[in-house]
Structures are given as structure tokens and as C-alpha cells.
Structure 1
Amino acid sequence: MCVSRVTYVRLLLIEISFLGESERESCYGEVIRILRERFPDKSMRHKVTVLVPGAGLARLAWELVADGFSVQGNEFSILMLLVSNFILNNCKQVNEYVIYPFVLDTCNSWSYDEQLRPVRFPDVCPHFMDEASSFTVLFFIQRKNAFSMCAGDFLDALKNTTDQWSVVVTVFFIDTAVNVLDYIDTIHRILKKGGLWLNFGPLTYHFADGDAEGAIELPYDLIIQYINQKGFRFASDERESKANTALYACNKKSMLQYQYICGFFECVKL
């Protein structure tokens, strides 16, 4: 099994198993809370269009749809898209499937029992997005909000889009850019005037090892400076004032654990 496939199996932990609940709360929780506060009338949230670039296996996008927003997830990885399609369209009940995500963790393991422990998924059934709905078809007929997935590179997929989105949510995403300034330019262009951008994540630049021509790795303060210059007003910028710690695809029973201290900001397009 190649490294990328192992990574995708691990992402199942975060996105659609009970083991990922605390990680989802640390990564998605504040984003969801702010959107609920900004748009308190759930009956009108279908008018709020939300784009989630780097949607992964679409759990955050799904959660926002369940909250009443009209959401589109954007994802580049074909493996991510295939797995998210399977989860969203083929999982019919809670804990229907089982995986063994730690079986290849031969280092930093306390025991074979820990390595071989099973994890069931999904922790929620994607078809039942509203507890008031007793049947999937009924919910989809009654709901006003839209849910879609867009395949492709973020910059290419959105190159012809201007002033369209009410909200852009980026979680563990902006460091996937070859040049993060291109992402900022695109987000500014696609947001409506007064549109909201929420970002959470570290700066573990994916092209820092020189795999892409023109790759740059800017520190957080220069990114904030450029966002200001671009024409955004910051409603919040949490750095030293709050420790936004997050684990990511972590084996919590391993001897080795990685923890990120993430930046979080909320800004509005002027």
C-alpha cells in the first residue's frame, strides 16, 4: 500500500469515525460556531453559499449542509473524491464498515492489539442529515439548500468565478498552495462584497522540498499583511492570544504524537 493510500485510510478516522470526534471539534468546531452566530436564522441559511476548498472526504461540507447552508466542496485528489462519493452515496447505516487503519504502524506501538484494533465507520449516516426527517428522500425533497462537489485544482476550478460566494472556509488548506498569494487572490475574487473568509490551519507547505517551480513559503505574519492589503477587514486573528491546538490523522494510542498550533482568522471582503 503506498503512503498516499495509507493517508487516506487515516483520514477516514478524522472525517467519519467516532475516533475523529475530538479532532473534528478542534479543526471544524470554531468555524461551525461562527457561521451559526453570523447566520442565526436556519430557515434562511439556504441563501448563504459556502465554498470549502480542499474538502477532503467532505465531512465539514456535509456538516454545513446539515446546518442549512448551500455548500460546494472542492477537491483535487481523485482518491479523495472516490472515497467521499462512496461515503456520501453508498453508506446506508451507522458503523456499516470496518477498517484497520493502524495495521502498518510498526513503530511506536505499545502492542499488537493496538495495531490491529478495528475502527468502524461512518459514525453518522450521510443520508440522514436532519433528525426531523424520517426518510432520506423526504429530507432532500423538503430542503432548500444545495450540496455539490467540484473536482479539480482550486485555482483552475475557480478561474472563471467572480463575486459568487457568501463564505469561503479553508481548513488545513492554504499551505497546499505552490504560492499562497495565488490562493488569497482567488478567494478575494470569488467572494461577494461583504463575503466572509474563515481559515484554520498550520503552514506545513506541501511544496517546501522544491517539487514545484516558483514555490514560496511565507510566514504567517506576511500572509496576514497581504490579506489586509488585498482588501479584507479582519474580524479576528488568533495567534498568541489563543492556542488553537489540533491533532491531524493521529493515532492517539501511539508512542509518537504530532500536534499543530494553528492560526485562525475571520475576515470580510470590503
Structure 2
Amino acid sequence: MVTSEWTGPFDPSSDPEELTHLLSVLSSFLSYRRHAHYNGTHVRRQAFYSLPSSHWSLLSRPPFSVLDHLSHLDDLIDQHAELAEAIFRVGFAFLAPKLDSEWIGEVLGGDARVVVGDELKVYEKIMDRLGVKASKNDVDKARSCIHQFYREWSAEGAVERQKCFDPVIRALEEEFASRARCSPNLNLDRSEMSVLAPGAGLGRLVFDICRAGFTVEGNEISYHELMASSLVLNHTKTAGQYTIAPFALNGSNHLTREDQFRTYQVPDIHPATELASHTLNSRVPAEERMSMATGDFCVLYSQEDSKETFDAVTTVFFIDTAPNMIRYIEAVRNCLKPGGLWINLGPLLWHHAAKPPPSEEDKNKDKEDRTTDANERDIGIADPGSVELTNEEVVALVQHLGFAMEKHETGTFETGYISDPSSMLQSTYRPSFWIARKK
């Protein structure tokens, strides 16, 4: 095992609403195959056969062979589904010990549809009886999560990772080198420098920071990405275990069918084997230097028990998930040690733009929740309100709230985000990169 499974003070199974959400996420991975076949090929076949018969007959034959291409797309969807179902198994293993074994026996007992040895049929039966179906939003997130493997865990995704992750790693290495020069007699080890990486996604930046020798804690609020990162970090057996075709389901802007259906093997490395071969970067084993915490960044890292915990915080394509940037800055300031470093790289595609104010019903419910909670429960990014700032304003706010800006670059490079290099449409970011030190 490379890293621990989900850690943190909050158990989602203890909260009915959170448990419902967790079940919806699990269902979105378990039902990936069905939804992807329906939306990816069934609907397209219906539309194809709605063409005039002479037209679809022509397009069915070479060199077009549209029906053959749809059959090939079905095969690629099945390969994606193998990955989605593997993620489901990881997530269900977290939930299963909390289910009553007698209840499970009652659910499965005497049902001829549950075939002995057919694990997925067993899972489907249990999930059906739990009575929660995947929401459309969670189905979309499951699909997006599969695509995310291209950026974080394929060899071809290294182009984006080198642009976005490497500057952050270099800044950490330079900070460690500076500390080592200032204390040459202490024989410092990189493991003594603790790093927080919020918005950890599928865990590749967390992995790369650990591989560089530092102690790192990833933080992620998305159950989709927590389950997926746990699969790749803790449960894959070999490099290239799964096959994805991240651009296959989008039928637009392809030069050739070969481009559309190109496949990639993930993960590009076997994490445990890779970390074992980088022991010279630290005297402390990798499994003791890497962890993953689940929960709202604002809530977890604004608390007293997180105060002055980390030497550095790295935010990559993350701060624009903040409805209120001040909350993020306060959380970073709280969890950083005095003189600690905040390294940020990313655009400002504000995720909560024009967030509507809460309804009177929601206000009353929130007031009731807070009244019944002696600790005035912090709801983090679910707090009402949002604001969109320019990069100049973000930098000014960071400085105003207790940080000294040591480096600030904009427009020095361009990068895509899960970009198809052969597509006729290219979207690029020119991210801001800055390093700030807590005063």
C-alpha cells in the first residue's frame, strides 16, 4: 500500500445526507457501463437510423463504416467500464463493513438472479435494495473522473504534468535546499518538510511530491476522485493495468477515426514500485510520508488542530474552486507554519460564478442546524455568497492577509487540461504562478 485510505475527522456514513451522496457516487461508477452505452452509442444509432435510408446505407459502407465505428466505440466503453467498476469496488469496500451482514444475507437469499461468483450482480442487488440511484451530476462526474486518468496517470499526460507540476516540485526543492544551507550541521532530510496539497484529484501531484522525498498530505472533497486515487495508489497491480480512450465519446473535431479512438494505458507507472526505487530522496519510507484526507479544505484546515502544521501548501488548478477566496487564504494561513511557503499555479476559472443567494427555506434550515449544533458547524464552501476576482486582485488579497509575495509570473507558458493534441479545437490556459511566504 502506498498511502492510507481516506483519513480525517468526518465519517460520511455517520451522516444520512452524506451517506446518500456517497451511495449516489458509488452507483455512478457501478452504472457507468449502462449509461455510457446508452448515451455513447444507443442514442447515436437511433439518430443514424433516422437519416434517409439511402444516406445511412451509404454511410454504413466503407470508407465510412459508421456502424462499425459505433461497435468499436462499444468495445472502448467496456474497457472504461472495467476501470469504473474497479473504482466502485474500492469505494464499496469502505462502505461494506458498515452494512449489517444479516441484512445482506436477506437481500441476497433465494434470488435466482444473483449468480454465485458474479460479484457485480451481488453488488447491484445490494445497491438496488439500498434504494439510491446515481444523480445525473454524479454520472457526469464519474465520466469526467475516467477522463482525468489521461492527465494524471498516462505517459502522454506527462506534457501537461510537466508544465503544471514540475514548477511546484522545483519550488519545494529550492526551499529545502535553502533550509539545508542555513542549517548545514543538522543533516536535514526531505521528509522533515511537510507539504499539504489540497484539491488532490487522482493523487498524481501528491505522489510526485512524495517521490521527491517530502512528507505530503493530499486533501480532496470529491468522493469520485478519492475512490479513483485510492484505486491507482493502493490497488493497481501493474503499470498499464487499464485502457482508456478519453476522447472517443466526443464525436467532434477529430481529423481521423484513429485520432478519436486512440487508447492510452493507465497508470503509466506502478506507484508502489516507483516509490520503492526512489528511497535515496529520503531516509523515511514513502508509506510513512504520504496520506490523503477527505473533507472540505476550508473546514479541515481552519481548525485549531491544523494550526501551523505544514511547511508548504501547494495549490495547482485549485484556488478557482473557492466561492470566497478569503476563506481559502485564511485556511492556508492557519495551517502554514510561520515562514511557510504557499506555491500556487493555475488559472481563474471560477467554479461558483454568480452563485445564487440561499432561499428562505435554506436559510431557516441552516439556522436550525447551527442552533442544534453546539459547535456552530462550519459548512465551508457551502457558505452562501461568491465573488470573482482578477489575478491582480487575488495577489493583492494574499498580500493583504499576511503573505509576502516572493515570485509572480503570468503568461510564461501555456497548457491544456485533458487536451487532445490532435483535435481541431485547442483550448489553452496561461496560468498564473506565484510563491508567497507567510509573515
| Counterpart secondary structure, 1:246 | coil
Cα-to-partner distance string for 1:226-266 (whole Å, 9 max, x where unaligned): 11111111110112xx5232211111111111100110100
Matched to 1:89, the amino acid is N
CA–CA distance in structure 2, aligned partners of residues 36 and 163 of structure 1:
20
CA–CA distance in structure 2, aligned partners of residues 142 and 69 of structure 1:
10
Cα-to-partner distance string for 1:57-97 (whole Å, 9 max, x where unaligned): 01011011111111000001100000000000111222121
The residue aligned with 2:412 is: 243
Q: Is the 8 A contact 2:191 2:284 kept in 1?
A: no
The residue aligned with 1:116 is: 261
Mark the runs of 5 or more structure 2 residues left unpaired by the alignment.
1-35, 37-138, 181-186, 358-383
2:310 maps to 1:153: no
Q: Is the 8 A contact 1:51 1:167 kept in 2?
A: yes
**CA shift for structure 1 position 179:** 0.7
Matched to 2:214, the amino acid is F
CA–CA distance in structure 2, aligned partners of residues 13 and 127 of structure 1:
19
Mark the runs of 5 or more structure 1 residues left unpaired by the alignment.
134-138
The residue aligned with 2:234 is: 89
**CA shift for structure 1 position 141:** 7.9
Normalized per residue, the structure richer in strand is: 1
Change (3 A) 1:235 1:16: same
Which sits farther off after the overlay, 143-152 or 84-93? 143-152
**CA shift for structure 1 position 15:** 0.6
CA–CA distance in structure 2, aligned partners of residues 132 and 192 of structure 1:
27
Q: Any residues of structure 2 matched to 1:30-41 within 5 Å, and which?
A: 30-40=167-177
**CA shift for structure 1 position 211:** 5.3
Matched to 1:217, the amino acid is E
CA–CA distance in structure 2, aligned partners of residues 76 and 211 of structure 1:
22
Change (3 A) 1:6 1:211: farther
Cα-to-partner distance string for 1:125-172 (whole Å, 9 max, x where unaligned): 111214256xxxxx9984585210001111122231211110000000
Q: Is the 8 A contact 1:46 1:144 kept in 2?
A: no
Runs of 4+ in 1 over 3 A off after TM superposition: 40-43, 139-145
| Counterpart secondary structure, 1:39 | helix
The residue aligned with 1:266 is: 435
**Could you say which structure has the greater relative contact order, defined with CA pairs below 8 angstroms and 6 or more residues apart?**
1
Normalized per residue, the structure richer in helix is: 2
Matched to 2:340, the amino acid is G
Q: Is the 8 A contact 1:46 1:70 kept in 2?
A: yes
CA–CA distance in structure 2, aligned partners of residues 132 and 60 of structure 1:
16
CA–CA distance in structure 2, aligned partners of residues 254 and 207 of structure 1:
29
| Counterpart secondary structure, 2:292 | strand
Q: Any residues of structure 2 matched to 1:3-42 within 5 Å, and which?
A: 3-40=140-177
CA–CA distance in structure 2, aligned partners of residues 222 and 90 of structure 1:
43
Q: Any residues of structure 2 matched to 1:119-158 within 5 Å, and which?
A: 119-128=264-273, 129-131=275-277, 142-143=285-286, 145-158=288-301
| Counterpart secondary structure, 2:157 | helix
**CA shift for structure 1 position 35:** 1.1
Change (3 A) 1:108 1:262: same
CA–CA distance in structure 2, aligned partners of residues 65 and 132 of structure 1:
10
Change (3 A) 1:195 1:107: same
The TM-score normalised by the length of structure 1 is 0.91
Change (3 A) 1:236 1:126: same
Q: Is the 8 A contact 1:68 1:145 kept in 2?
A: no
Q: How many residue pairs align between the two structures?
A: 263
Pick aligned residue for 1:72 from 217, 223, 242:
217
Change (3 A) 1:252 1:36: same
Which sits farther off after the overlay, 209-218 or 85-94? 209-218
